[in-house]
Structure 1
Amino acid sequence: MSRPLRLEYPGAWYHVMNRGLARQSTFLDADCYSAFLDTLAEAHRRFSVQVHAYCLMGNHYHLLLHTPEGNLSRAMRHINGVYTQRFNRLQKRDGPLFRGRYKAIVVEADSYLLSLTRYIHRNPVETRTPLVASLQEYPWSSYPAYLNKARAPEWLYRDFTYEALGRRDKYRGYKAYVEQGVDEELAEFYGRQRKYSVLGSEVFRERLLGGDKLVSAEVASRELVVRPPVSGENLVEQVAQVFGCSPAEILARSRPGRKGYNPARSVAMWLCQDRAGLTLPQIARLFGGIHYSAVSQSVRRIKTRMAEDEELQSLVDRVSRGVIVRCNA
């Protein structure tokens, strides 16, 4: 049997799904759900993937993703691979978690974005036995954030959906829209045993599936700015600016016998790994030729501190925003 068609281009939108191997559970407790959301956040930072809606069910997930850089495969390798590692550590198991490659449906966002968010968000009540009496009570989807009933993570993009809704009272309006139920066209599309790889009009499908030339024309017609890779040196400069120190203070190797916590240095190391994709040995060379195990320990400690220290997390968020602005300037 042939593999599902993969269509990737800058600016593409996708409905991405995956199930547990042999329908096994992929989320067993709150720690598992939180670990997956952490992995989504990392994919956003590392690959510029925008998450517009999500719903995590017991043995599968739904994501609505936008890829300005046309790099869905790389982002999904991170999401599925890293989450599997975290799930295995949490559950003290090993081996594969998902049934195989994720399924990605390319979406014509102008026509289907709004209705697709509704389809994704209604999953907890569209099961044979509804998981909750009221959708906004389900904590593992983006729906409560869409209603402003839960804090929206910085990587969740809601404005596109609100604009498509076109209602002045966006929270109440979106709630009323979702409560209307899934429309017949989408119900028929997702009810097919063998689904198309494209959700869109005939013109949209022909443009994507008509051959390499037509796909290239689709890409060429979009005025997109692809974010260039972030260098370790640029990240160090940005950290120094936010933390009020010099790049030299961050990069300098500590003198023998000198001990002390340097959050700017640790944050810069972590961002070099998370945002620039540098390996531990590469980071070790950049930060004074230290041993790569020291980098690993420093990164692990700063991630723990960020989870406990809101002020530190706020500084890190400022660094990330500054890097994005500078790269897109």
Structure 2
Amino acid sequence: MPRSLRIEKENGVYHIINRGNYRQDLFINEGAHAAFEKCLFEACEKCEWVLEGFCVMTNHFHLVVRTPKGNLIYGMKWLQSTFANRYHHYRKVHGKLFQGRYKSLIVAEGSHLGALLHYVHLNPVRASMVSVDQLKDYRWSSFWYLFNKRKRPDFLDCSGGLEAAGGLADTPKGRDQYLSYLKWLSEEDAAQKEMAFEKMCRGWALGTKDFKKALLEEVEDDNEPVDQPEKVPRYDGERLREANELRWEMLLEKGLSAIGKDTKSISGDLKSADWKVTLACLLKLKTSATNVWITQQLNMGTPDAVSRYVSEFRTSGGDQKMPFKELTTKVMT
């Protein structure tokens, strides 16, 4: 069955988002904002998180959290359940508070983390709640704490945004320069596009293709022989299609390397070449790769042809012979 892609890493950095159930306004007044911030800060202390940034709006929140102990799932469960219990007790209401578990994207260090912090800090501006000039007065954000240094808790690290805006110092001058930078950024659609603002809440990871591949390699723990397609690891949801295809690509690259083939061989050899059929069979057994994807990657003609070639290969016992098993071991380990 499909499964969620949940990655917990020691010292991992995450963008976490959740909304009120049915997108209802959840943080309806200063008291609700303050109560959530209190729970968030308690979670950071309890789990020893580093809070890189946050912004609490009226019906949703954004958190940028570093987890030195790799305990994101435990910490988020505690944070949301504790806030919900307190909210219900105080308001004498019942029912589901958040729209779901929460969404988390693991984030690459450097420019991707910096762009995310800019995105989070500019949330109230994009929602037309404040202007950029008023941003430092928006109370429920790490940007407010940037300008109120003495009130920062020890676990709140406000240096990321400053560093990403040009290595600015955490001084009155540096903070003013960061505000000017955000004002420029808020007016520059091209710069926002380059930083991929529109993708900050999509998918499962923010980073380069190599970064994502490395993450998938870390979670590839299910290396037992798998013969039934329905038991093959496949990450659920349209938003995780990229993770599935990256996994298929990684295994295909390992397979090509193991048999001494390359992209020239793919285009130059027969569509029904034995080595192509062998790799296609391996991909069908060990991944949820579609016939369409395999056809395109291995230049095998049509999706129906892939099905036919693989079926004939298995009927002849090719997948039970030692060469196939040895190749499978090389690719899957």
Q: Same fold (TM over 0.5)?
A: yes
1:181 to 182, 185, 188: 185
Match status 1:172 vs 2:173: no
Q: In the TM superposition, what is the alpha-carbon distance from 1:64 to its structure 2 partner?
A: 0.4
Q: Give the stretch that moved more between structures: 118-127 or 173-182.
A: 173-182
Query: Closer, same or farther in 2 for the Cα pair 1:171/1:49, shift >3 Å?
Result: same
Q: Any conservation in 1 of the 2:16–2:102 contact (CA below 8 Å)?
A: yes
Residue equivalent to 1:131: 129
The letter for the 1-side match of 2:199 is F
- Note the residue ranges of structure 1 that are not aligned, 5 or more in a row: 215-329
Q: Partner of 1:106: helix, strand, or coil?
A: strand
Residue equivalent to 2:214: 207
CA distance in 2, matches of 1:132, 1:163: 24
Residue equivalent to 1:47: 47
Q: Any conservation in 1 of the 2:200–2:206 contact (CA below 8 Å)?
A: no
TM-score by length of 2: 0.58
Residue equivalent to 2:189: none
User: Which structure has the greater CA radius of gyration?
Assistant: 2
The letter for the 2-side match of 1:186 is A
Residue equivalent to 1:230: none
Q: Partner of 2:185: helix, strand, or coil?
A: coil
Residue equivalent to 2:319: none
1:274-321 CA distance string (max 9 Å, x none): xxxxxxxxxxxxxxxxxxxxxxxxxxxxxxxxxxxxxxxxxxxxxxxx
CA distance in 2, matches of 1:96, 1:5: 24
Query: Closer, same or farther in 2 for the Cα pair 1:179/1:97, shift >3 Å?
Result: same
Q: How does 1:1-329 map to 2 (within 5 A)?
A: 2=2, 4-127=4-127, 130-133=128-131, 134-148=134-148, 151-165=151-165, 166-168=167-169, 169-181=173-185, 183-184=192-193, 185-190=195-200, 195-210=202-217, 212=219
The letter for the 2-side match of 1:146 is L
The letter for the 2-side match of 1:121 is H
Q: Any conservation in 2 of the 1:14–1:64 contact (CA below 8 Å)?
A: yes
CA distance in 2, matches of 1:41, 1:148: 16
The letter for the 1-side match of 2:210 is V
CA distance in 1, matches of 2:9, 2:151: 31
Q: In the TM superposition, what is the alpha-carbon distance from 1:189 to its structure 2 partner?
A: 1.4
Q: In the TM superposition, what is the alpha-carbon distance from 1:9 to its structure 2 partner?
A: 1.0
1:255-280 CA distance string (max 9 Å, x none): xxxxxxxxxxxxxxxxxxxxxxxxxx
Q: In the TM superposition, what is the alpha-carbon distance from 1:101 to its structure 2 partner?
A: 0.9
RMSD over aligned CA atoms reads 2.3
Q: Any conservation in 2 of the 1:122–1:178 contact (CA below 8 Å)?
A: yes
CA distance in 2, matches of 1:163, 1:23: 34
CA distance in 2, matches of 1:61, 1:3: 25
- Identity fraction in percent: 33
Q: Give the stretch that moved more between structures: 1-10 or 131-140.
A: 1-10
Q: Any conservation in 1 of the 2:16–2:105 contact (CA below 8 Å)?
A: yes
Residue equivalent to 2:265: none
1:85-117 CA distance string (max 9 Å, x none): 111122210122001110000000222122111
- Note the residue ranges of structure 2 that are not aligned, 5 or more in a row: 187-191, 222-333
CA distance in 2, matches of 1:37, 1:44: 10
1:44-72 CA distance string (max 9 Å, x none): 11111111111101110000000001110
Q: In the TM superposition, what is the alpha-carbon distance from 1:23 to its structure 2 partner?
A: 0.9
Q: Any conservation in 2 of the 1:44–1:155 contact (CA below 8 Å)?
A: yes
Residue equivalent to 1:316: none
Q: Any conservation in 1 of the 2:117–2:160 contact (CA below 8 Å)?
A: no
Query: Closer, same or farther in 2 for the Cα pair 1:212/1:149, shift >3 Å?
Result: closer
CA distance in 2, matches of 1:175, 1:89: 39
The letter for the 1-side match of 2:217 is G
CA distance in 1, matches of 2:149, 2:159: 16
Q: Any conservation in 1 of the 2:115–2:164 contact (CA below 8 Å)?
A: no
The letter for the 1-side match of 2:181 is Y
Query: Closer, same or farther in 2 for the Cα pair 1:107/1:88, shift >3 Å?
Result: same
TM-score by length of 1: 0.59
Residue equivalent to 1:304: none
Q: Partner of 2:211: helix, strand, or coil?
A: helix
